[in-house]
Amino acid sequence: MMRANSSSCIRGLTFILTLAVAAPTAPPLAGRALAQYPSPVPVAPPEAPMPGISVSRPRFSADAIVQPGDSGAPEVRIDYRLARSELLFERSPTGYRASYEVRVIFKTAKGKKEVAGDAHTRELRVARYAETQAQGDDIADHLLFGMPQGKYLVEINLTDLNAERTSSTTVPVEVPGIAEGQIWLTDLYLGTVEKNAGSGAVLVPDPSRSFGDELPRFAARGEIVDNRTAGAPDSIYQLSYRIVNELQVSVAHGDTSIVRRGSRTAFLIRPGLGPLEPGSYRFVLELSSPLLPTKGQKKATPIRREKPFTVVPSAASATVDLKTALEVLRYIATDAELTEMDRLRTPEERRAFWEAFWQRRDPLPETPRNEAMEEFYKRVRYADQRFGVGGPGWKTDMGQIYIVYGQPDEIVRNPFRFEGPPEEIWYYYQSRKTFVFVDRDGFGRYELDRDRSRI
């Protein structure tokens, strides 16, 4: 018998979800809803914090971008965003006041030795209480640091000075060495295009690099740094981009030509994306012309930059496969919701139901994200990747249990049994549940053994 705990078997994100068992669910297990799914309060932090996103309050997101400074040498720009509702406002003679400190520490990537850092304090004043509760990431700012060539781990700490609480996150960054005469690309900013009355469309960076309904406004911005003398014959740059999903499949691509504008040529790429399935993606950009060999190279190669981002569940992503998006909700829907789902007829009714379903379960409605929805679809994606054998993983017994209950506390695998087929046992200690799965046909299609399970 082989025994392993969940940390070595399943790497799903931990999320405290209070689930009350009801009747059995829809396929693959016969019956009605297996579990009710109230809002998960309190929200537990993920097992492994996502780089650039804090896991405690005040919640904020941050990103590190390398760009040329005024002198031409590279500098690191730290962008951060948070909602003002994350801060504690205190009454003042003129209204309400909040203040926070951002402390940035640069550490060597290998030895984690502190090599640079600085702290900045910001203050916000509003006249009315309603202005302290503005929703969305409405506080956006950045800090600049001149750093020598090297690889760093940047720690960003944000302290609410009124509430006296601090949250933090880290992001990696590599500062390149810039050789004289070299053409190079800056890091990429990912964000959304917004209208600006004075200058037209502008990119608003999103340090969290998480996109949902705003995906059609997704864009990438950067600069081409060209230290050659003016009037070079090849003064038109050729750029191409691809957006790649978790399976390394390109879901969007395009190319563009940009005329050189001095030593620094800015560009903005707007792919015009339609709905994408929730998951992880990479924006890959290549400068294919002109190309100059760098030191140590015999042949010039395209200059490449890439940036990962996440598509989170949203009303737009649900329309990619609305039927599936609704069907999987049967695992966690209440009896009343199951009855309502059976009465849906039009796409408009289904989409409205989907949106209302998740609004009711949003544990933190004052924030732009729905943490319960995001965790649920993370489990669905994991189930598809891990348990799919000849069909979608979310439809399997293992997939259903994982979606409803999350990561088991312990897994026991018995791949070789003289007295029966291979089996896998999942233990959930807090809810006192045990699920026994058996591979009856030997093809990895594990089915729930109800007689031996404690449901």
Do 356 and 435 lie in one domain? The reply is yes
Angle between helices 347-359 and 335-342 (to 10 degrees): 170
28 and 152 inside one domain: no
Same domain, 84 and 102: yes
Residue 160 lies in a domain: yes
Count of other CB atoms within 10 angstroms of residue 65:
22
Assess whether 101 and 28 both reside in one domain: no
- Is residue 33 in a domain? yes
Q: Residue 20: inside a domain, yes or no?
A: yes
Q: In this structure, are 123 and 154 located in the same domain?
A: yes
Q: How many domains does the chain contain in total?
A: 2
Task: Report yes or no on 104 lying in a domain.
Answer: yes
CA atoms within 13 A of residue 369's CA, in its CB half-sphere: 19
Where among 121, 155, 175 does a domain terminate?
175
Answer yes or no: pTM beyond 0.75: no
Could you identify the residue written with the tokens 């439809």?
Answer: 395
Going by their DSSP bridges, the two strands 303-311 and 210-211 should be labelled as parallel
Contacts of 261 (CB under 8 A, 6+ apart): none
Token pair belonging to 258: 């940009």
117 forms bridges with which residues in the sheet? 105
Q: Do 318 and 350 share a structural domain?
A: yes
Domain boundary (175, 200, 220) is at: 175
Within a domain: residue 100? Answer: yes
CB 218 within 8 A of CB 199: no
Domain, as residue range, for 107: 53-175
Q: Is residue 280 part of a domain?
A: no
331 and 348 fall within a common domain: yes
Same domain, 115 and 18: no
Asked whether the CA dihedral 51, 52, 54, 55 is positive or negative, the reply is negative
User: Do 155 and 105 share a structural domain?
Assistant: yes
Nearest Cα neighbor of 157 from 198, 191, 200, 106 is 106
Q: What angle do CA 272, 278, 282 make, to 5 degrees?
A: 60
7: in domain: yes
> CA 23 to CA 34: how far, in whole Å?
5
Residues contacting residue 446 through CB under 8 Å, at least 6 positions apart: 387, 396, 397, 398, 424, 437, 438, 439
Q: Do 32 and 70 have their domain in common?
A: no
Q: Residues 395, 361: one domain? A: yes
- The three-point CA angle 28-31-36 to 5° equals 95
Residue 327 within any structural domain of the chain:
yes
**Is residue 334 domain-shared with residue 373, that is, in the same domain?**
yes
Query: Of 175, 198, 227, at which residue does a domain stop?
Result: 175
Look up tokens 């600049």; give the residue. 144
Looking at residue 152, which CATH number applies to its domain? 2.60.40.10
Buried b (16+ CB within 10 A) or exposed e, 137-172: bebeeebebebeeeebbbbbbbbbbebeebbbbbbe
Tens-digit pLDDT profile for the chain (455 aa)?
333 333 333 333 233 333 333 333 434 453 333 433 333 333 333 444 567 888 788 989 999 988 888 777 789 999 999 888 889 999 999 999 999 999 999 999 887 899 999 999 999 998 988 888 766 557 889 999 999 989 999 999 999 999 999 999 999 998 877 655 578 888 899 999 987 655 567 888 888 888 887 889 999 999 988 887 776 667 889 999 999 998 889 999 999 999 988 888 999 999 988 888 888 899 999 998 887 766 666 677 888 899 999 887 777 777 667 777 788 899 999 999 999 988 988 888 888 898 899 999 988 787 767 888 888 888 888 888 788 877 788 889 999 999 999 889 998 988 787 788 889 999 999 889 999 999 988 778 899 999 999 98
